[in-house]
Amino acid sequence: MSELRLNVITREWVVIATERALRPDQFKHESSAQVPIIFDQACPFCPGNEEHTPGELLRFPASRDWQVRVVPNKFSALSKQTEQNHNHEGLHHSVSGYGLHEVVIESEMHNHFLAEQSLSAISNLLQTFKTRFIAMYEDPAIAHVTIFKNHGEDAGTSLIHPHSQIIGTPITPIQIRDRLDAGKRYFEDTGKCLMCATLADELAEQSRIIFDTTHFTTFIPFAALSPFHTWIFPKRHSACFADISDDEITELALHLKTILSKLYSGLNNPSYNFVLRSESPRASEPECFHWYISIVPRLSRPAGFELGSGMYINTSIPEDSAAFLRNIIV
């Protein structure tokens, strides 16, 4: 029988539709054969085409044979050149489109997906995320920085070449504010971090754990909002990604590679989005939030019920999905 589960971190209800649930292997993506291209003359992100991107912000290593580059987004959603102002006219509130929008080119190879990259390459990427995350917050007008990746057509990607994006906005998005509010209420009631408590519960139960090491745990939450929706939590309480240590970056790279490789192998390279959710380095109440990475394979689409109710229907059982991924050897 189906049941409704509450995601205590997002404060969203989800219907775990057990009677409509598919077997985990039925979510496999119908991928077409790929040509082994490592360079595309028409791709602005490939080596040799650097002049086709805006002025470079960072290159690693700092040589001709780079592995990671960061450039301003040529089609930026926000602009640093915009005057900063807030407008209030009755119930019409707006903020000028001031902000920062950067592209992180993850590899010099045109179709070398993140799941296929080495641990050292992923570590370098995470270090690049940290560097640019801190740099964006040096602008006092930036209230929140979002690091995210779109992989595959169903996830909204427009260029095959592996890349991520970082956007700094002058406001804090509602999803982060909702999570902060939930964390504050829980801390006021218990004196504990909600995310730390969630992780402790998951580790005690074990049924939704996919991968566990010294510093991080990868798991499917009890009330996963969609099939194979996965979280990577640091075990050390930290509100801000900027506080991550070099040792933790190395281990986080292992978790990211492991889960993306399992999804790649087990579900035939599905489209996915990942988002790094973090407080600002200027956080006034760091005890109430805990940064983490959310990975959302695009295996289902919201329909009328989701749009009309704000509730999700998940046709996978989190415990079965976690067991499926645990058993995939990568």
Bridge partner list, 276 = 147, 293
Torsion of CA 46, 49, 54, 57, to 10 degrees: 60
DSSP string of 106-126? Answer: --SSTT--GGGS-HHHHHHHH
For residues 31-41, one letter each, b for 16 or more C-beta atoms within 10 angstroms of the residue's C-beta and e for the rest, the string is eeeeeeeeeee
Residue 278, by phi and psi: left (phi above 0), alpha (psi -120 to 50) or beta? beta
Q: How many CB atoms lie within 10 A of CB 44?
A: 17
With beta carbons less than 8 A apart as the criterion, state whether 18 and 317 touch.
Answer: yes
Which pair of structure tokens corresponds to residue 180?
Answer: 């902060």
**φ/ψ of residue 128, rounded to 5:** -65, -45
Measured distance CA(230)–CA(321) in Å, rounded = 10
Residues in the chain, total: 330
Q: Distance of alpha carbon 222 from its chain centroid, rounded?
A: 18
Query: Is 163 among the residues known to form the active site?
Result: yes
Residue from 163, 229, 255, 290 carrying the catalytic annotation: 163
CB within 8 A of 18, min separation 6: which ones? 1, 2, 3, 317
Find the helix or strand (DSSP H, E) in which 69 lies: strand 68-72
Q: Distance of alpha carbon 98 from its chain centroid, rounded?
A: 23
284: nearest Cα among 180, 138, 185, 188: 180
Q: Cite the active site residues.
A: 163
